[in-house]
Every structure is written in structure tokens, then in C-alpha cells.
Amino acid sequence: MKKEILQNMASYFDHSIVKADATKKEIIQFCEEAKKYGFATVAIDTSYVDLVRENLKGSNVKICSNSGYPLGANTTDVKVYETRRCAEMGVDELDTVMNIGYFMDGDYDYVIADLKAIVDEFKSHGEDKVVKVIIETAIIGNERIKQAVECAVAAGADFVKTSSGYGGGGAKLEDVIAMTKAADGRIQVKASGGIRTLEDAYKYIDAGAVRLGGTGGVRITEAANTELERNYSV
């Protein structure tokens, strides 16, 4: 099992560059790395979608962008518009942040309706479109993870994701374990943030994550390749 994970390590990664000072040069470099290693997606903010689409042309790497990011506090109609524009620009996978404040208030009906509007809009442009709901585990706490997962499932999302990178912390192993347990095969799990080493990546995958996010994909994939050569070469 570990050999198979090592062989496919790159395919677990969304190669993410979502920061205020990202430059075109950096984003193009991320595209080149994604093509070289075979990452699942390049994740960028919406103003760079056209640039990424041009630089990923002819590859199997998908485009990931966002709606209601990073706070999740926009009105639903604004999120739906962002979602529609992403789909029109050729985005394959969408990250969206659930409305954390409404969730903490216990207004789960609002949270679900908000997310469902986004999911329905994105998938109206193709059933192969993928939506990941960010639940900000560092904010909501481990004890609320089950309810957050239920909201994402009820909305029809494909993934539940730990963190945006702007919500006070990244993935923790105990949170991913709780997400996987709550998901119970109904929705996939993504761990994002703070995944810096091959051992980190393996622990999260072993805990149930089928997608990883962050900037460490190159380093971790190279470490996986080194371990394959050292321990599994004929």
C-alpha cells in the first residue's frame, strides 16, 4: 500500500498559490511544476485563471479556483456569480468556504442553502465539475467537524477540506481523522496547510485524505521518488 501511495504521490496534490502577492512569473512556474510532476490541479485566484489555462494547455493537470474565498462571508448571489464566472473560464474544481459565522450560530439551514446554490451552479456547467467545501477546522474546532461535514454532504459537494490558509491554522491529523469518520464514504476529504514532509503527507493519506493542498508538493513528491528508489527498486 505504501509503495502505491509513493508512486502516486503527485496525484494527491493541488499545487496551490493563493496569496496576495503572487506574481505571474510564480504562477507560470507552478504550472510548469504541475506538468512536470503530474499534480492533480494548480489552484489559483480567479484573476489568474486565463493565465493558468494557457500554461496548462495540452496537459492533464486541472484548474482549481475559488468562490467566496477566503472568508465565506459574501452573500450567496455574489458567490454564485463568482462560481458561474469560474465555470465559464474553464475552471475544473472549485474551492468555496462555508459561511463560518452562520455555522457557529447554528444556522445550518442557511449554510446548506448557501453551499447548495454554489454546488448547483457549478455542476450545471458539467457533472464532472468538482466542489470542495472548506470548513476551517482551526476555527470551528474538532467537536463541530461532524456537523460541518453533514452540511457539505447535504449541499451535494464532492470534498470537505480542512482549511483556506487564512483561518488560523492548517490541517491537523485528529481533524482529518474526524472528517473521514464523519464522511463515512459519502464525501471525500482534503487536508490542506502545514503539510511539509513526506511523513506528513503519508499520515494524512493514511487517515483518509484523498487530496492534499499546499506549496510542498514538489519537495514531497521528490522525497517520495527518492524513497521508491531506495526501498522498492528492483
Reply yes or no on whether 123 is catalytic: no
| Catalytic hit among 79, 161, 175, 200 | 161
CA angle 135, 158, 112 (to 5 degrees): 55
Q: Within 13 Å and on the Cβ side, how many CA atoms surround 192? A: 29
| Catalytic hit among 79, 158, 190, 200 | 190
Reply yes or no on whether 36 is catalytic: no
Sequence-ordered list of residues with C-beta below 8 angstroms from that of 138, at least 6 positions apart, any chain:
162, 163, 167, 168, 169, 170, 172
Q: Which of 83, 74, 129 is nearest to 102 (CA)?
A: 74
Tell me the three state secondary structure of residue 36: helix
Cα separation, 213 vs 21, in Å, equals 19
Reply yes or no on whether 190 is catalytic: yes
| Catalytic hit among 14, 95, 158, 175 | 95
Q: How many CB atoms lie within 10 A of CB 197?
A: 12
Cα separation, 77 vs 197, in Å, equals 39
Sequence-ordered list of residues with C-beta below 8 angstroms from that of 148, at least 6 positions apart, any chain:
98, 103, 135, 140, 160
Q: So which residues are the catalytic ones?
A: 95, 161, 190
